[in-house]
Amino acid sequence: MVTKAFKELAILNAAKRGMPHERICFTPHPVWGKTADELRVYVDGPDPVSGKPLMKEVVDGLTVPLSDDEKKTGMVSVSVGPPTFTDTADNLQDYYLNNGYTDFLPIILPTEEKVDAMLKGTSHHPDEVVGKMAAGAYPAWSYTVKQVAASAVMSGARPEYFPIILAIASSGIASLFSSTNSFAFAMIVNGPIRDKLEMNYGIGALGPFAQANATLGRAWTLLSKNLGNGGIPGDTYLGSLGNNLNYNNVVIAENEEASPWPPFHVQRGFKPEENVVSLFRGLGVVPGQVARGSSVNESPQFDYQMSDLFSTFTGFFGALIIADPLVAVRLKEQGYDTKEKLIAWLYKNTTQTVKDYKGRNYSYLFEYPQALQGREPFATWYKLPDDAVIPHFPRPESFNIVVTGGQTNAYPQAGNLSYGVSVSIDKWM
């Protein structure tokens, strides 16, 4: 039984999982927030898709004998079409756009010549399987080095960027995810490769000011669409509003040289000279200038500023501090000589009441079921009285810190983003 807004998703997903004849009935949408009387009208009324009485469909669905088709077993192979397309360049641009292969911006057409040039950016064989990706709870698609190269060409990336794109593809993390929430994704790039590729980690570090920064993020979205089958509205993408960050995601080259702390990848156990890309998922990035503690009349209290910002985030995702080096240096001067000290302070001092916690939809949707299974800290939190004060985030590991920016002003930004994985770029050279 599915609400009408997810009709296509329900039918397609059932078919993709081998149940094209799954018996599904539909209710009006939404059911959330409706009164008992309103829901009774739903139950007593028709299925909005078939027009038939809903409960008759329910009873029939459980009692009408199966047809021969519903009893079928076997395997069905899935085709993605021919290996190549041939036409004028303009017609091919339209074809790729109209068939959902692009981000609706002009692409570099992945001719054999361009793809061969891209493949020179790695020592890996074109036919090597890089990984598997699914844009949600769907059967994952797999892909080869050459198939990743096609999306890399389309994004406008240079061959020297290809190892990073392969590293991202090998993670299996799609940057277009199926939730109605419209998720945002980010990457942090560490190591000497930042300078080799002339990545920007100075003025405008998060903006459109370097080819590598622009195309790495774009490549992630294109390969999520083409290799992970993501981004099909109504099927593998359901974001109600969408997220503008998905065009090229949040690409952060860390300003390791200006940071007073060890770089992000070193915290994750890599050596400073290793090249690493780390991936994040969450809801988005906000500026830090407007939070409490950002007064220009007194010495800025960046710790309180960040805590104030984070109190508006959902604790289901993590908190990524994106600090200009001026912010990081000031925090160290204030006594946070390690990132861990700052994180410990933030975890302890960013709090909420249990009543507020229970009232957040993420808590009910995702953490209450875990509480029922005894998982901590949720199991304990749900047993506390409403006026008890608890951390806003479930654990200190929810917090991460990266330093980037051009030091024209002491501004931070903050992402409601969770750390996912760090992947070696060197492996894909």
Partner 1 sequence: MNRRKLLSLLGMSPAILAGARLEAQTSKKPGAKAPAAVGSAGKIEALNPRGMPPPITLVPMAPRLPSLDGKTIYLVSDGFPGADAFLNQIKIWFSKNMPSVTTEYRLKAGGFADDDPKLFAEIKAKGNAMIMAIGH
407 forms part of the interface with partner 1 (CB under 8 A): no
Give the helix/strand (H/E) hosting 59. helix 54-63
Question: In the complex with partner 1, which residue's Cβ is closer, 230 or 415?
Answer: 230
Shortest reach from residue 313's CB to partner 1, in Å? 20
296 forms part of the interface with partner 1 (CB under 8 A): no
Question: In the complex with partner 1, which residue's Cβ is closer, 17 or 395?
Answer: 17
With H, G, I as helix, E, B as strand and everything else as coil, classify residue 220: helix
d(CA 134, CA 142): 9
How many other CB atoms are there within 10 angstroms of residue 299's CB atom?
A: 11
222 forms part of the interface with partner 1 (CB under 8 A): yes
Cα 157 versus chain centre, distance: 21
- Part in contact with partner 1 (CB under 8 A); list of ranges 65-73, 245-253, 351-359, 400-408: 65-73
49 forms part of the interface with partner 1 (CB under 8 A): yes
Q: Which residues contact 422 (CB under 8 A, 6 or more apart)?
A: 265, 268, 270, 276, 277, 278, 279
- Part in contact with partner 1 (CB under 8 A); list of ranges 41-49, 181-189, 205-213, 419-427: 41-49
215 forms part of the interface with partner 1 (CB under 8 A): no
d(CA 325, CA 338): 14
6 forms part of the interface with partner 1 (CB under 8 A): yes
Query: Quick one: tokens of 395?
Result: 């654990």
Shortest reach from residue 352's CB to partner 1, in Å? 20
How many other CB atoms are there within 10 angstroms of residue 163's CB atom?
A: 23
Site residues for partner 1, 152-181, by CB under 8 A, read 154
231 forms part of the interface with partner 1 (CB under 8 A): yes
Shortest reach from residue 70's CB to partner 1, in Å? 4
Phi, psi of 328, rounded to the nearest 5 degrees: -65, -45
Q: What residue has token string 């003025």? A: 203
Pick the binder of partner 1 from 47, 103, 115, 197 (CB under 8 A).
115
Amino acid residing at 36: A
Q: How far apart are the first and last CA of the chain?
A: 49
- Part in contact with partner 1 (CB under 8 A); list of ranges 86-94, 119-127, 262-270, 286-294: 86-94
Contact at 8 Å (CB) between 149 and 410?
no
Site residues for partner 1, 304-363, by CB under 8 A, read 361
53 forms part of the interface with partner 1 (CB under 8 A): no
117 forms part of the interface with partner 1 (CB under 8 A): no
- Encoded one letter per residue, x for contact with partner 1 by CB under 8 A and - for no contact, window 372-391 reads xx------------------
75 forms part of the interface with partner 1 (CB under 8 A): yes
- Part in contact with partner 1 (CB under 8 A); list of ranges 78-86, 184-192, 285-293, 310-318: 78-86
Shortest reach from residue 179's CB to partner 1, in Å? 9
Please name every residue paired with 253 in a beta bridge, in sequence order, or none if there are none: 189
Question: In the complex with partner 1, which residue's Cβ is closer, 234 or 287?
Answer: 234
With H, G, I as helix, E, B as strand and everything else as coil, classify residue 189: strand
266 forms part of the interface with partner 1 (CB under 8 A): no
239 forms part of the interface with partner 1 (CB under 8 A): no
Pick the binder of partner 1 from 119, 150, 184, 219 (CB under 8 A).
150
CA atoms within 13 A of residue 39's CA, in its CB half-sphere: 8
Question: In the complex with partner 1, which residue's Cβ is closer, 151 or 215?
Answer: 151
Pick the binder of partner 1 from 140, 266, 390, 429 (CB under 8 A).
140
Contact at 8 Å (CB) between 227 and 143?
yes
Characterize the bridge pairing of strands 141-144 and 129-133.
antiparallel
69 forms part of the interface with partner 1 (CB under 8 A): yes
Q: Where are the beta strands (DSSP E) in 294-429?
A: 319-323, 351-353, 389-391, 399-403, 412-424
Residue-wise DSSP of 296-329:
SSS---HHHHHHHHHTTS-TTS-EEEEE-HHHHH
d(CA 67, CA 280): 46
Question: In the complex with partner 1, which residue's Cβ is closer, 108 or 384?
Answer: 108
- Encoded one letter per residue, x for contact with partner 1 by CB under 8 A and - for no contact, window 87-106 reads xxx-xx-xxx-xxxx-----
78 forms part of the interface with partner 1 (CB under 8 A): yes
